[in-house]
Amino acid sequence: MARNHAHGNYSHTQKKARNSGGGRTPADRARRTLSQNFLVDRHAVDLMVKAAGPEGLVLEPGPGEGALTLALAEAGAQVVGYEVDPRLAGRLASRTRSDPRIDIVRRDFTTVRAPREPFAVVGNIPYSITSKIVDWCLRAPALTSATLLTQREYARKRAGGYGRWSLVTVESWPWFSWKLGDTIGRESFRPVPSVDSAILRLQRRPEPLVSGGRSYQELVEVGFGGVGGSVRASLKTRYDGVDTALAAARVSRDTVVGHVHPDQWITLWEHLCR
């Protein structure tokens, strides 16, 4: 979500109410302080629900006024929404008090302990803490999937949309797939942000692609270490047989680390670490 600090989504109006002294209402001040941009496009909400395929327990970072929350519940999920804005949290809690499918908690999602039972995360999240929320999801052992509306550039980078792959994606690839979903234009938000958003989908794999998690992560960290300007130069500082492994993975000797596909990293691990 196009916000810089706290959560909230979906608002029918965004009038800037001013008092006689030229100030702002509490709602305006909160929106400015928390940099909230609310999702106002019902079609975008439907795209999120379709991408998430919600069922069972779903945690929602920043439910705001509840557009996505209600849609997830209507699709069959048991939703727990974590809202840091006390005004929004109170209003949504009152609105959904009689709905057994929804529980609203006034709390920062990133401070929440992950459930032990299987669960998914679905949310329209703030740009500035996107990485923090993604890291939280990747560390949660029982997470099945995360469907996140993020800045489009972030989603493209993580899903390899620029033909390059980030350390976060490569390092988590044996356990999670990353998929770039629909673009949500900036006009779908109020106030209108300066960039478009996109749906980013993380899906836990039924079985990991490697048997040695730590050895794989060490391999990737060495590769991304930046020694010599190529993945070959970096890996040769630690591993024997690098040229044979690169040939098996069909990676050229001068390939820059970001251009190595995550699946090729699996092949490198098979030849260098097993």
Q: 197-232 in b/e burial notation, b at 16+ Cβ within 10 A? A: bbbbbbbbeeeebbeeeeebbebbebbbeebeebbb
Question: In this model, does residue 30 exceed pLDDT 70?
Answer: no
Question: In this model, does residue 2 exceed pLDDT 90?
Answer: no
Structure tokens at 142: 């029982």
Three-state secondary structure call for residue 205: coil
Domain's final residue, options 185, 204, 223: 204
Q: Quote the percentage of the chain above a pLDDT of 90.
A: 77
pLDDT of residue 36: 65
Q: pLDDT band at residue 39, thresholds of 50, 70 and 90? A: confident
pLDDT of residue 27: 55
Q: Which domain holds residue 242?
A: 213-273
Question: In this model, does residue 106 exceed pLDDT 70?
Answer: yes
Q: CA 126 to CA 3: how far, in whole Å?
A: 4
Compare 240 and 32 and report the one with higher pLDDT.
Answer: 240
Three-state secondary structure call for residue 211: coil
191 prior amide bond cis, ω within 30: yes
Three-state secondary structure call for residue 77: strand
Task: Give yes or no: residues 56 and 189 share one domain.
Answer: yes
Average pLDDT over the chain, rounded to an integer:
88
- Which residues contribute to the annotated binding site? 37, 39, 62, 83, 108, 124
* Per-residue model confidence as pLDDT tens digits over 203-260: 999 999 999 999 999 999 999 998 878 999 999 999 999 999 999 999 999 999 999 9
Domain's final residue, options 153, 183, 204: 204
Task: Give yes or no: residues 43 and 137 share one domain.
Answer: yes
Question: In this model, does residue 12 exceed pLDDT 70?
Answer: no
The count of domains in the chain is 2
* Per-residue model confidence as pLDDT tens digits over 131-151: 999 999 999 999 999 999 999
Question: In this model, does residue 46 exceed pLDDT 80?
Answer: yes
Compare 39 and 251 and report the one with higher pLDDT.
Answer: 251
Task: Give yes or no: residues 240 and 130 share one domain.
Answer: no
Question: In this model, does residue 7 exceed pLDDT 80?
Answer: no
Domain's final residue, options 204, 229, 258: 204
- Whether 188 and 133 have beta carbons less than 8 Å apart is answered as no
Lowest mean pLDDT among 39-43, 50-54, 86-90, 116-120: 39-43
Three-state secondary structure call for residue 240: coil
Q: pLDDT band at residue 13, thresholds of 50, 70 and 90? A: very low
- Which residues contribute to the annotated binding site for S-adenosyl-L-methionine? 37, 39, 62, 83, 108, 124
Q: What is the DSSP string of 110-157?
A: GGSPPPSS-EEEEEE--GGGHHHHHHHHHH-TTEEEEEEEEEHHHHHH
Task: Give yes or no: residues 192 and 241 share one domain.
Answer: no
Task: Give yes or no: residues 249 and 228 share one domain.
Answer: yes
